[in-house]
Chain A
Amino acid sequence: KQEVTQIPAALSVPEGENLVLNCSFTDSAIYNLQWFRQDPGKGLTSLLLIQSSQREQTSGRLNASLDKSSGRSTLYIAASQPGDSATYLCAVGDLGNAGNMLTFGGGTRLMVKP
């Protein structure tokens, strides 16, 4: 059974810092991996989707990388801003069901201080 872990569980940084959020998974037979952002009391907002054949995806100040062999993905946030404060979740779509069944990590709660 796929298990997804995110470390750290919480992170507090000053505005302007570049930061890296980590996601690890136990079964490398994945279909894709998706990063989400969740604001308090809200739903999940998709940030980036990486297919298993890709190494990275970029959107604005966000860059996500994928290393299937080591079972890891990182989300890099450049020049962090207070508006980036949220919980970031990674979710792995397993190969066996064509990526449909997402297994979520526990999330990293990020606070960016002005």
Chain B
Amino acid sequence: DAGVIQSPRHEVTEMGQEVTLRCKPISGHNSLFWYRQTMMRGLELLIYFNNNVPIDDSGMPEDRFSAKMPNASFSTLKIQPSEPRDSAVYFCASRRRAGDTEAFFGQGTRLTVV
């Protein structure tokens, strides 16, 4: 298996623009997670899905952030409009089933908003 696949690997955009990050979880995994990593705050959970349904989005910082999972093999995290403080590395992770299996992470998308 190719693991969790994220795209793009790097994204540079201007403040105010819309940004869409993409994730393909490992086939057969039922849970998908979006994390954000910064030097100041470390790794923070933004939102997670079980069986394509959003379960907890309490970590989503603002209404500018939204996430979707239209099917078991694809998810997006959208920021609209983007701001410089959104600059971070965004990770997607998946698990075979809730909780009692390992979480596998993608390589991340490094977002820079100028």
Q: Given B42, B105, B106, which contacts A107 in the complex, CB threshold below 8 Å? A: B42
Q: Is B31 an interface residue (CB 8 A)?
A: yes
Contact indicator A44/B105 (Cβ below 8 Å): yes
- Assuming the A-B contacts A89-B43, A107-B42, are A100 and B105 also in contact, with contact meaning beta carbons closer than 8 angstroms in the complex? no
Most buried by A among B55, B91, B98, B103: B103
Say which size band chain A's interface belongs to: 20 to 34
- Assuming the A-B contacts A44-B105, A93-B99, are A101 and B45 also in contact, with contact meaning beta carbons closer than 8 angstroms in the complex? yes
Residue of B nearest to A104 (CB): B43
Q: How far is it, in angstroms, between the C-alpha of A101 and the C-alpha of B55 when the chains are bound?
A: 10
Q: Is B108 an interface residue (CB 8 A)?
A: yes
Q: Given A42, A43, A49, which contacts B101 in the complex, CB threshold below 8 Å? A: A49
- B101 proximity list for chain A (CB < 8 A): 49
Q: How far is it, in angstroms, between the C-alpha of A97 and the C-alpha of B98 when the chains are bound?
A: 9
Contact indicator A98/B91 (Cβ below 8 Å): no
Taking beta carbons and an 8 Å cutoff, which residues of A are in contact with B?
Answer: 31-32, 34, 36, 42-46, 49, 51, 89, 91, 93, 97-107
Taking beta carbons and an 8 Å cutoff, which residues of B are in contact with A?
Answer: 4, 31, 33, 42-45, 48, 50, 55-56, 91, 93, 95, 98-108
